[in-house]
């Protein structure tokens, strides 16, 4: 809104204020309809119902939520919901969430999500979708879990992996970097360790405080932002939806938080590409499916320097694509600019690595799957292996679009989805004319590059 508002702006602002007072807000917060197809301890797998006039086709997408954050991150509001976008395209869409964490869940460790929650969710989606391979999309810690599962369980029917705003090198996170030397002084016997053990985890108020602290500047300037955008209905609706999201956080289980705190935050273990899960070490070099990685250009929780180091660690992936998109930690996933940047890139990626026929059935018997997992658990930490090649890495920098852009057209020749083929298929080389460019989106290419195989 202008410093001296125009008559049209005054009318729009008055209408927005009146609508907010009479109806409690401007955002359409109705959730997309869904059906529970599988559940277990801290595991609920949902299938989003297709639209009546849109047939579901293609491989399914499984959205992986992080701990503590609600599944609203994928279904923020009508008109700005990744779920709604995928369903409207006719893509079979699923989501795994974890429900409310209580004190009785305090003994659950990170291996519960890597060994049971996510693998069982993938199998449930695979079977429900008629035996098709599954495309994983994980945001924040959900992306970390998806990476660990893809590295640990090559037997699962995973077609591709998309990681959105997942920090790998925690030393590059501004909120954590200044205090890491102090954390290491206590050697695991400090106040933080005693506190989360006594509480059985991290309660909801502390989680809310952490997310608020990460966006302190936006919280301080929020009243001014509302005042200067009183005439912008879409802006105000987005702010209302984000406020609801921030008020819907859940707790962290005690043992899981302890592992993340000591290994991930204090130890920065994942920066080396390896992390202990249960009685074994999981190596990101074992990921053998294509990986799409996103970083937000204003993300304070997972900034670009914290996300980019994952690229060389994925040496076993047939292809790695890196996209820098507008937005902060939540905005890059479901902000208004994401509709023409992040979402179109996900659409093109999933379409590219989708097959036209169902993949071979994964082992149906849970006993066999558990046996394989037990065998992995008994194995000692693997000897670090030298990668024989570097995956093709393509980097793209996105600028904030001025208008909604058309989706990228899928290549005429689709890449195979079977893992055996994906491992041996050579990465596509870009010509000198196309390196770092993306003609279907208004992306700057000044900082882009393509790294070929060596």
pLDDT level of residue 6 (50, 70, 90 thresholds): confident
| Model pLDDT, residue 303 | 92
Q: Does 255 have pLDDT greater than 60?
A: yes
Tens of pLDDT along 208-219? 545 555 554 455
- Least confident segment among 70-74, 209-213, 243-247, 396-400: 209-213
Pick 395 or 410 by higher pLDDT. 395
Q: Does 188 have pLDDT greater than 90?
A: no
100: buried, middle or exposed (CB in 10 Å: 19+, 13-18, 0-12)? exposed
| Model pLDDT, residue 391 | 64
Tens of pLDDT along 122-145? 999 999 999 999 999 999 999 999
Helix (H, G, I), strand (E, B) or coil at 318: coil
Q: Cα torsion at 139, 143, 149, 150 (round to 10°)?
A: 110
| Model pLDDT, residue 300 | 87
Token pair in block for residue 142:
């959900």
* Averaged pLDDT, 275-281: 89
| Model pLDDT, residue 130 | 95
| Model pLDDT, residue 257 | 64
Q: Does 105 have pLDDT greater than 50?
A: yes
The pTM score is 0.72
Q: Are 132 and 359 a contacting pair, CB within 8 Å?
A: yes
**Quick one: which of 341, 336, 85, 84 has its CA closest to 235?**
336
Share of the chain above pLDDT 90, in %: 42
Q: Does 342 have pLDDT greater than 80?
A: yes
DSSP string across 149-193: HHHH-TTS-EEEEEEES--S-GGG-TTTGGGHHHHTTSTT-SHHH
| Model pLDDT, residue 225 | 66
- Least confident segment among 349-353, 371-375, 430-434: 430-434
| Model pLDDT, residue 340 | 95
> Domains in the chain and their CATH numbers?
26-378+387-425+436-451 (3.40.50.1820)
Separation of alpha carbons 70 and 207, rounded Å: 12
Q: Does 454 have pLDDT greater than 70?
A: no
Pick 295 or 16 by higher pLDDT. 295
| Model pLDDT, residue 327 | 94
* Averaged pLDDT, 436-448: 37
DSSP 232: -
Q: Does 260 have pLDDT greater than 80?
A: no
| Model pLDDT, residue 27 | 84
Q: Does 221 have pLDDT greater than 70?
A: no
Backbone angles phi, psi at 214, to 5 degrees: -70, -25
Q: Does 430 have pLDDT greater than 50?
A: no
Q: Does 435 have pLDDT greater than 90?
A: no
pLDDT level of residue 264 (50, 70, 90 thresholds): confident
Q: Does 384 have pLDDT greater than 70?
A: no
* Averaged pLDDT, 292-300: 95
| Model pLDDT, residue 399 | 61
| Model pLDDT, residue 359 | 43
Q: Supply the mean pLDDT for the chain.
A: 75
Q: Does 90 have pLDDT greater than 90?
A: yes
| Model pLDDT, residue 74 | 97
Strand partners, 363: none
| Model pLDDT, residue 75 | 96
Q: Does 93 have pLDDT greater than 90?
A: yes
Q: Does 26 have pLDDT greater than 80?
A: yes
- Least confident segment among 102-111, 322-331, 408-417, 441-450: 441-450
Separation of alpha carbons 70 and 97, rounded Å: 8
């Amino acid at each position: 809104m202008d410093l001296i508002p125009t008559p049209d702006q005054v009318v729009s602002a008055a209408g927005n204020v009146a609508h907010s007072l009479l109806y409690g807000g401007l955002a359409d917060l109705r959730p997309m309809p869904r059906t529970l197809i599988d559940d277990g301890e801290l595991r609920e797998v949902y299938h989003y119902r297709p639209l009546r006039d849109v047939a579901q086709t293609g491989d399914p997408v499984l959205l992986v939520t992080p701990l503590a954050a609600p599944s609203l991150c994928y279904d923020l509001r009508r008109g700005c919901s990744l779920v709604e976008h995928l369903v409207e395209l006719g893509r079979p869409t699923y989501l795994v969430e974890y429900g409310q964490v209580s004190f009785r869940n305090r003994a659950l460790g990170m291996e519960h999500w890597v060994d049971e929650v996510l693998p069982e969710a993938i199998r449930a989606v695979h079977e429900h979708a008629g035996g098709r391979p599954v495309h994983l999309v994980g945001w924040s810690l959900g992306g970390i879990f998806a990476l660990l599962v893809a590295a640990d369980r090559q037997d699962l029917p995973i077609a591709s992996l998309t990681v959105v705003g997942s920090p790998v090198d925690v030393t590059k996170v501004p909120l954590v970097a200044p205090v890491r030397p102090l954390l290491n002084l206590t050697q695991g016997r400090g106040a933080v360790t005693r506190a989360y053990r006594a509480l059985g985890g991290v309660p909801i108020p502390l989680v809310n405080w952490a997310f608020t602290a990460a966006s302190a500047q936006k919280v301080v300037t929020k009243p001014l932002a509302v005042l200067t955008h009183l005439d912008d209905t879409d802006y105000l609706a987005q702010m209302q939806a984000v406020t609801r999201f921030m008020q819907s956080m859940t707790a962290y289980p005690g043992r899981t938080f302890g592992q993340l705190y000591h290994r991930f935050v204090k130890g920065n273990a994942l920066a080396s590409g390896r992390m202990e899960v249960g009685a074994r070490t999981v190596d990101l070099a074992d990921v053998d499916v294509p990986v799409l990685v996103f970083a937000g250009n204003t993300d304070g929780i997972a900034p670009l320097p914290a996300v980019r180091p994952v690229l060389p660690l994925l040496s076993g992936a047939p292809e790695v694509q890196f996209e820098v998109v507008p937005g902060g930690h939540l905005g890059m996933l479901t902000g208004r600019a994401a509709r023409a940047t992040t979402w179109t890139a996900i659409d093109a990626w999933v379409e590219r690595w989708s097959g036209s026929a169902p993949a071979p059935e994964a082992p149906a018997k849970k006993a066999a799957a558990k046996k394989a997992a037990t065998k992995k658990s008994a194995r000692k930490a693997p000897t670090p292996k030298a990668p024989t090649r570097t995956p093709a890495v393509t980097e793209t920098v996105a600028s904030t679009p001025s208008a909604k852009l058309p989706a990228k057209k899928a290549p005429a020749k689709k890449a195979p989805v079977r893992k055996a083929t994906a491992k041996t298929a050579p990465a596509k080389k870009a010509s000198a004319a196309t390196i770092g460019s993306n003609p279907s989106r208004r992306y700057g290419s000044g900082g882009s590059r393509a790294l070929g195989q060596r």
